[in-house]
Amino acid sequence: MNIILIGFMGSGKTTIAKRLAKKLICNYLDMDDLILKKSKRSNINQIFALDGELKFRELEISVAKKLSKTDNLIISTGGGVVMNRIIIDYLKSSGMIVFLESSFENIKKRLKFDDSRPLFKNPKIAQELFELRQPLYQQYSDLTIKTDQKSLREITNIIIEEKIKHEN
C-alpha cells in the first residue's frame, strides 16, 4: 500500500513525505520530479511557460498511471491532482490518500520568497484556487490532518497509526 499526500501548494507534502519514508524505511517519490524528468525541461515554471498547463496535466496523468502500479511508496503529489478525476482514481487505486490541511495564511507565509510555483504568482488568484480545491481534497482523502497547530512529528505519527489501521 502506498501513502499518497495531497494538499495545496506549500502545505508541507514534500517535507512530511520525506520524514515518513525515513521512519517507515520505504522509498519516497515526488510527482513533480517525475513530471520534470518526462518533460525534459529544467523546472516546472518552464513547462507551464513553454508547453502550457495542459501539457503539464497530461504528464501528470501519465505519471499517476505509472504510480498506480506501484506499492510501498510514499508519494507527494502536486497541489493540482484533485482537478483531474482520473489522476485521483489512479492514485487511490494504489493506497491511502492523506490530505494535509493548512490555512491559506500559513501557506502564504511559507511561499512568500518562493517563485518556483507558476500558479502562486498572484496571492489573490492563488487564494481563489485554494478555496475552490478545499472541498475536493476533503472529498478524495481517506484521512484529513489539520496541520497548523501540529508538529512534523505529530503529523507523521498520525499517518503511521492510520496506515496500520488501514492495513488491518
Q: In the complex with ligand S3P, which residue's Cβ is closer, 140 or 161?
A: 140
Give the number of C-alpha atoms closer than 13 A to the C-alpha of residue 48, restricted to the C-beta side: 10
130, 109, 110: which is closest to 119 by C-alpha?
Answer: 130
Q: Report the residue closest to ligand S3P, judged by CB.
A: 78
Q: Least distance to ligand S3P from the beta carbon of 44, Å?
A: 5
Nearest CB to ligand S3P, comparing residues 119 and 136: 119
Residues of the shown chain interacting with ligand S3P in the complex, contacts defined by CB under 6 A:
9, 13, 32, 44, 78-80, 117-119
Query: Nearest distance from residue 14's CB to ligand S3P, in Å?
Result: 6
For residue 144, is it left (φ>0), alpha (ψ between -120 and 50) or beta? beta
Nearer to ligand S3P, 26 or 119 (CB): 119
Minimum CB–partner distance for residue 24 and ligand S3P (Å): 21
Phi, psi of 98 (to 5 degrees): -115, 125
**Torsion angles phi and psi, residue 25, rounded to 5:** 50, 60
